[in-house]
Chains A and B, each alone.
Chain A
Amino acid sequence: MIEVEQLSKSYGPREAIRNLSFQIEKGEVVGFLGPNGAGKSTTMNILSCIMPASSGSVKICGFDVFEQSLETRKLIGYLPETPPLYSDMVASDYLTFAARLRNVPSRKARSAVEQVIEKCSLKDVSNRVIGRLSKGYQQRVGIAQALIHDPDILILDEPTIGLDPIQIIEIRKLIQDLASSHTIILSSHILPEITQICKRVIIISEGEIVAVDSLESLTTRLRNGERLILKVRRSDGETIEKLRALDQTNAVVEQETGQFTIDCEPNANIQDAIAKLALDNNWGIVELKPASMTLEDIFLKLTLEENEVKP
């Protein structure tokens, strides 16, 4: 549905993104993850036809965003980082304007507005001036605006930024509801958000894609070697020595008394050996489990690795 190939954009001498290529299928919810200034907003602006790319191509449902810009724009609902709200307008008037602007015929505009008001729970505030609404409601009006013409693709740039925790939960729930009927691209620098909403992640750092994968395989693939956590009841000075003596262990660290983290080669399967060792020495195993890396760790690792490569 969305095909991005070799996309680059530079602002003067500064390259914002370099050779991005990825594909998004119909119905997917894809998270665009990266630190601030990584090029997320630039990419989204190009996808939503606001600015042309310096090189490379983007095809949305077969339409080129540059060559067939008007057709493409009909398919997309876009919420920029700052929601494009006219603060002096009444919410429902604003949505009507957005509907008309997105080619919703005037007969259907009213029902389209009513629908998004319903979807985004804006009923209570639809007659109020946008500038007076709380940040959470403004964000909802922003999302409503992107939804008004029932687009196939929703592009949401940092939809939860600057909201309080309750508002964040509400907006996330709203996005999850929308996920069933739309292809959604969502950007964020907040990781739990991506883990909650998206099935696939594109991690971007300093204008380049560091990883494109589903959440699970990303977690497994990027676990460079494995880490086990061992908890025992009885341990003495020799315990750590004996663990280190095992084949295929790289490092053993005693976190606190009786708790060790064991880094070993990938696919080493040394759980048996460890268990046997513990039984033989009568340490009394409490826990032996693989330490799972959170997306946060992976994210840091990927973006830091990227930095290390650079001189």
Chain B
Amino acid sequence: MKNTWIIAKRDLGSFFSSPVFYSVTTVFLILYGIVFFILLNSFSFASFQTHQLRGADIGLNLNEMVIEPSFQQMAVILLFIIPLITMRSFAEEKKSKTFALLLSSPVRLEEIILGKFLACMIVISLMMLLSGYSIGYLVFAGQPEIGPILTGYLGIFLMTGCYVSMGLFASSLTDNQIIAAVIGFGIALFIWFIGWGAQAAGPELGQILEYLSLITHLQHFLKGLIDSSDLAYYLSFILFGLFLTHRVLESSRWR
């Protein structure tokens, strides 16, 4: 565990000293800010209309109309942003030959992979924290339900873990950061699309595909539901991605 943290700390240092992190974070915050603004605007417009039409003060549901869709949009933006964060993890180490330092040190491969995973998760959590002004404002100005917000963040966080473990896998395949990012997008989008395929497929296959899709599982969290099957799905997804990464790195030593 100590070694994991040593590696994560170095990676964090290199994130914060590179322009990639700052540009990615800026783009993320701007995109999310726009989405949030639009959602909030249409909410206030809708509530103004209902107020006028019905004449009574019927509050529209802030959670349903702003918070839930804003989480959904955040999930989409993260899908594009995370491969850019994870792409360098192994590709850069291999390109600059620094991986030899890690491999010749008394550190297990698992610790290296977990260290990289941890660093990416911390970076993305930081980005989410910076975007938290939006929900924070709503909590301050309106009366949203707190429960679904917390579970929503948990869901997004778990989904981020899936993206990161896929991204790390993509990065372990190559020494080229761009290829790593492209493969990362590819896998992430593929798993995203599986959910759409579920509607077209037959009842049995459809159910399987729906279960495999990342987005189906997020819905429950956004509604304020923590289902053990969703937790199991995300955690096993993350572990599977890290396992594949381990296999790729281990086998590349043998070749």
Decide yes or no whether A49 CB sits under 8 A from chain B: yes
B6 touches A100 (CB 8 A): yes
Decide yes or no whether B102 CB sits under 8 A from chain A: yes
Size bin of chain A's contact surface: 20 to 34
Decide yes or no whether B106 CB sits under 8 A from chain A: yes
Tell me the smallest distance from the CB of B247 to a CB of chain A, in Å. Answer: 15
- Quick one: CB contact mask for A5-31 with B, threshold 8 Å, 1 for yes? 000000110000000000000000000
Query: What is the bound-complex CA distance between A87 and B14, given in angstroms?
Result: 10
Task: With A51-B253, A52-B253 as known contacts, state yes or no: A78 contacts B98, CB within 8 Å.
Answer: no
Tell me the smallest distance from the CB of A172 to a CB of chain B, in Å. Answer: 23
Chain B interfacial residues counted at CB < 8 A: 24
Of chain B, the residue at the smallest CB distance from A50 is B103
Query: What is the bound-complex CA distance between A11 and B107, given in angstroms?
Result: 25
Which chain A positions have C-beta within 8 A of B105? 73, 98, 101-102
Within 8 A of B (CB), among A100-132: 100-103
- Quick one: CB contact mask for A66-95 with B, threshold 8 Å, 1 for yes? 000011011010101011111111000100
Which chain B positions have C-beta within 8 A of A74? 106
Within 8 A of A (CB), among B60-105: 96-105
B253 touches A70 (CB 8 A): no
Interface of A is mostly: loop
B14 touches A88 (CB 8 A): yes
Within 8 A of A (CB), among B227-255: 253-255
Within 8 A of B (CB), among A11-66: 11-12, 45, 48-52
Pick the contact of B99 from A84, A89, A101, A102 — CB < 8 Å?
Answer: A84
Which chain A positions have C-beta within 8 A of B98? 84-86
A103 touches B13 (CB 8 A): no
Task: With A73-B105, A102-B106, A103-B106 as known contacts, state yes or no: A51 contacts B254, CB within 8 Å.
Answer: yes
Decide yes or no whether A145 CB sits under 8 A from chain B: yes
Of chain A, the residue at the smallest CB distance from B252 is A51
B101 touches A98 (CB 8 A): yes
Number of A-B contacts (CB under 8 A): 65
Decide yes or no whether A283 CB sits under 8 A from chain B: no
Query: What is the bound-complex CA distance between A148 and B3, given in angstroms?
Result: 16
Query: What is the bound-complex CA distance between A97 and B10, given in angstroms?
Result: 7
Decide yes or no whether B143 CB sits under 8 A from chain A: no
Query: What is the bound-complex CA distance between A100 and B4, given in angstroms?
Result: 11
Within 8 A of B (CB), among A202-244: none
Of chain B, the residue at the smallest CB distance from A74 is B106
Of chain B, the residue at the smallest CB distance from A78 is B104
Pick the contact of B100 from A71, A80, A87 — CB < 8 Å?
Answer: A80
Which chain B positions have C-beta within 8 A of A85? 96, 98
Query: What is the bound-complex CA distance between A242 and B18, given in angstroms?
Result: 79
Query: What is the bound-complex CA distance between A73 and B102, given in angstroms?
Result: 11
Query: What is the bound-complex CA distance between A52 and B109, given in angstroms?
Result: 14
B104 touches A50 (CB 8 A): yes
Query: What is the bound-complex CA distance between A49 and B105, given in angstroms?
Result: 9
Query: What is the bound-complex CA distance between A88 and B17, given in angstroms?
Result: 8
Decide yes or no whether B51 CB sits under 8 A from chain A: no
Pick the contact of A73 from B6, B14, B97, B106 — CB < 8 Å?
Answer: B106
Task: With A51-B253, A97-B6, A100-B6 as known contacts, state yes or no: A87 contacts B96, CB within 8 Å.
Answer: yes
A49 touches B254 (CB 8 A): no
Which chain A positions have C-beta within 8 A of B108? 70
A89 touches B13 (CB 8 A): yes
Looking at A48, A84, A102, the one whose CB has the most chain B CB atoms below 10 A away is A84
Of chain A, the residue at the smallest CB distance from B14 is A88
- Quick one: CB contact mask for A142-184 with B, threshold 8 Å, 1 for yes? 0001000000000000000000000000000000000000000
Within 8 A of A (CB), among B100-126: 100-108
Which chain B positions have C-beta within 8 A of A86? 10, 14, 96, 98
Query: What is the bound-complex CA distance between A281 and B207, given in angstroms?
Result: 109
Report, nearest first, the 6 A-B pairs whose CB atoms are least far apart.
Answer: A84-B101, A82-B97, A73-B106, A84-B98, A101-B105, A78-B104
- Chain B contact residues, CB within 8 Å of chain A: 3, 6-7, 10, 13-14, 17-18, 96-108, 253-255
12 A-B pairs within 8 Å (CB atoms) are namely A11-B255, A52-B253, A70-B108, A71-B106, A73-B106, A86-B14, A86-B98, A97-B6, A98-B101, A100-B6, A101-B3, A101-B105
| Given A85-B98, A86-B10; 8 other pairs, CB 8 A cutoff | A50-B103, A50-B104, A51-B253, A87-B96, A101-B3, A101-B6, A101-B105, A102-B106
